[in-house]
Amino acid sequence: MKMQLTEIANAIGIDDVPESWQEITITSVEFDSRKVQPNSLFIPLKGQRDGHEFVENAMQNGAVATLWAKDHENVPSGYPVLVVDDPLITLQKLAVYYLGKINPKVVAITGSNGKTTTKDMTAALLETEYNVVKTQANFNNGIGVPITLLNMNANTEVVVVEMGMDRPGQLDFLSHMAQPDTVVITMIGEAHIGFFGTRDKIADAKLEITHGLKEDGLFIYNGDEPLLRERSKKVDQRQYTFGNSAADDLFASNVQGARDHTSFEINLVPGQTYTIPMIGKYNVMNALAAIAVAKAYHIAPDKAGAALKDFQLTHNRTEWVRGKVGELILSDVYNSNPTAAKEVLTSFSKTESKGKRFVVLGDMLELGEQSDVMHAGLADYLDPKLIEDVYLVGTHMQALAKTLKAKYEETQIHWYSVDQEDQLIADLNTKLTAEDEILIKGSHGIHLEKVLAGLQNA
């Protein structure tokens, strides 16, 4: 972004500002004082700590102005301060203003699984023809979406926005903020079912992403999901489906998997093979969603294929890395839910391995009263002929450990509490060889990235 501070002040309803502010140009906004860049506007938000405590640090790190909540006393002097009712609401208001100023096409993506991967794929395909900005990392909530919008440059033509939710109403709010031209729902799973209770209610909440969709917009969704097919009747805008069935507008065939890539064909371009640098048929569904967006934005099939083959995936999403003894690690430590865990276990079990396969599974959070049953249900996707040992982390994984005793020897099942990462790492390091492969997957709150680091660092 690039705006004069006076323009920002006017955009958020502050008219009486010093003339000297006309000389101040803001090139970014930031709510983390440690990440402030020169010429930033600092946004002090309330989290575990109050962001107002870090305003001085932000100014020392290069910020040239800050918001300040009017219910906080001791307004700083010596640098520009914009006093507002609520810094978060002001951030969101500024994002809406800036979105209207740049006026790009907006692609909004949600889903119980695959939204980050689909976002990365979609951006890569669109970048073959447009200037594109996409959501970074997991900036997909009421803070992250406005930050994404404010990260646009003046020449941005398309912004690809990932949207997450764990409560009803969140996607409604985000969709009205971003006013998308295209929305995508990847699938409906069990993520956050502890809050919603049923998949039906999850589907209702996901459909909120269409609430801000422009009248001439496009709704792209997984046509194999009956819950979405049923609810699509409530959407007046144009619709396009992807999936595994010939009843879908876009579907894949001849899917061929390997350890580090998956290839497939699509009905729209007979004879052309698409390849993604990822494991799993479930990621083909994410690719189809991205291809559907690319088609809507007139990306040629050959360009789409080339972009998919080399797209850059957000870190720690089904990413192959090497451990310190040479073992291959399939890192999927950012998040987990039953659908995603089953999919990656199925794919991992089929990899070509010279050695043995091991898995580390952490608790899947926010599953509510059904949690233990859903954890135990993963047993059907673990075969002792294919997976040598199973390492489980967290309270709910005890349910899976108990169920696995029907098919695994007790010496092959290892359970750890969340504070036993060091012991888990030590146990794995004594077991793994350079020929082996290991899958690590769990919800972010279990912090299996610590285990990943322990296996990679000598």
Strands 158-162 and 105-110: parallel
Q: Report how far apart, in Å, the C-alpha atoms of 318 and of each of 16, 48, 440 are.
A: 52, 30, 9
According to DSSP, residue 210 is labeled: G
CA distance 151 to 102: 11
Phi and psi for 389 in degrees, rounded to 5?
-130, 150
Q: Tell me, what's the pLDDT at 370?
A: 86
Torsion of CA 196, 197, 199, 202, to 10 degrees: -10
CA distance 288 to 122: 10
Q: Tell me, what's the pLDDT at 340?
A: 87
Which residues of the chain are modeled with pLDDT < 50? none
Q: Tell me, what's the pLDDT at 316?
A: 64
End-to-end CA distance of the chain: 42
Hey, which CATH number is domain 104-310, 3.20.10.10, 3.40.1190.10, 3.40.30.10, 3.40.640.10?
3.40.1190.10
Token readout for 394 is 């967290």
Q: Tell me, what's the pLDDT at 281?
A: 87
Q: Is 96 exposed, middle or buried (0-12, 13-18, 19+ CB in 10 A)?
A: middle
Q: Tell me, what's the pLDDT at 319?
A: 85
CATH superfamily to which 319-456 belongs: Mur ligase, C-terminal domain (3.90.190.20)
Q: Tell me, what's the pLDDT at 24?
A: 96
pTM equals 0.90
Residue ranges per structural domain of the chain? 3-87, 104-310, 319-456
Q: Report how far apart, in Å, the C-alpha atoms of 149 and of each of 34, 306, 364 are.
A: 21, 27, 31
Strands 262-266 and 250-257: antiparallel
Strands 262-266 and 274-276: antiparallel
Task: Give the residue ranges of the annotated binding site for ATP.
Answer: 111-117
Task: Give the residue ranges of the annotated binding site.
Answer: 111-117
According to DSSP, residue 212 is labeled: T
- Matching fold, domains 3-87 and 104-310: no
Q: Tell me, what's the pLDDT at 192?
A: 64
Q: Which uninterrupted H or E stretch holds 87?
A: helix 87-102
Selection from 127, 125, 123 nearest residue 136 by Cα: 123
What is the crossing angle of helices 301-310 and 115-126, to 10°? 130
CA distance 352 to 344: 15
Show the CA angle centred on residue 434, arms to residues 433 and 435, nearest 5°. 90
CA distance 208 to 148: 20
CATH architecture entry for 3-87: 3-Layer(aba) Sandwich (3.40)
In terms of phi and psi (left: phi > 0; alpha: psi -120 to 50; beta: otherwise), the region of 136 is beta
Strands 158-162 and 132-134: parallel
Q: Which uninterrupted H or E stretch holds 68?
A: strand 63-69
The full length of the chain comes to 458
